[in-house]
Amino acid sequence: MGTDIKIIGLITARGGSKSVPRKNLAELGGKPVIAWTIETALQSSSVDGVIVSTDDDEIAEVSREWGAEVPFMRPAELSLDDTPHMAVMLHAIHWLERHRDLRPDYIMLLQPTSPLRTSADIDAAVRVARENSAVSVVSVCETHHHPYLIKRLAEDGTLFDFIEGAPQPGSMSIRRQAMEPAYVVNGSIYLNARTMLLEERTFLSQATLPYFMPNERSLQIDEPWDLHLAELILRDRS
């Protein structure tokens, strides 16, 4: 992969949010939640443009105030609770091609609900792609809850292993320290070749490489409690 590749950062931010009302505009550390992602993307040396896809006029106005482009408003049918991110991504790709004759090499999906990522994280993920000529790089972090520890409920209400036959930490079969590390996609960075998105319509192909992030930058805001935790982490940073 050469150094002249073009990368567009796409921030997806619809107006509707049930768990945290108006989540993308909620105040976090003295600024709207979405502003953290916009600022971080603009500070990156690897991203050539920052676009927000939204169906909400207020989010569009705030996004422009913080320096992002909002070249189109997302159609209502792509702003439902169950709208897949891939449909939103493909809409943006097709819009840029039709209206700007723009075909970036890569699209980086940046969800505003991951406000603690840094511009260094973005640049490092791009570096993983460059050094390995990767078509897909996704940010991950080590999971707090190892798969061996996860349980399901039987019909009678008793617990049993989610992974059948999983060795039990603390037993003779395995020690916790000896368990193979397990990782979870943290939602912060999805970097994909545009051609891969168009052809495979997936963010994680069989050739996806990880970009490892620490847990303290991997928080996703899905519930009010997450917003509180993010505030505490930012306060501790400063």
pLDDT digits (tens, 9 = 90+) for 180-199: 889 999 999 999 999 999 99
pLDDT for the residue numbered 181: 87
Do 43 and 88 lie in a common domain? yes
* DSSP H or E run through 209: strand 209-212
Give the 3-state secondary structure of residue 152.
strand
2 found inside a domain: no
1 found inside a domain: no
Tell me how many domains the chain contains: 2
211 found inside a domain: yes
Do 115 and 75 lie in a common domain? yes
94 found inside a domain: yes
* Sequence-distant (≥ 6) Cβ neighbours of residue 64 within 8 angstroms: 70
Do 232 and 126 lie in a common domain? yes
Do 206 and 172 lie in a common domain? no
- Report residue 126: phi and psi, to 5°: -65, -35
Do 218 and 108 lie in a common domain? yes
Alpha-helix residue ranges (DSSP H) falling in 105-202: 119-132, 194-200
Instruction: Tell me the whole-structure pTM to 2 decimals.
Output: 0.91
Range of the domain at 166: 147-177
Do 90 and 202 lie in a common domain? yes
Do 45 and 108 lie in a common domain? yes
Output the six-digit token pair for 86: 């891939």
User: In this structure, which amino acid lies at residue 70?
Assistant: V
Higher pLDDT, 160 or 130: 130
Tell me if 90 sits within 8 A of 201, measured CB to CB. yes
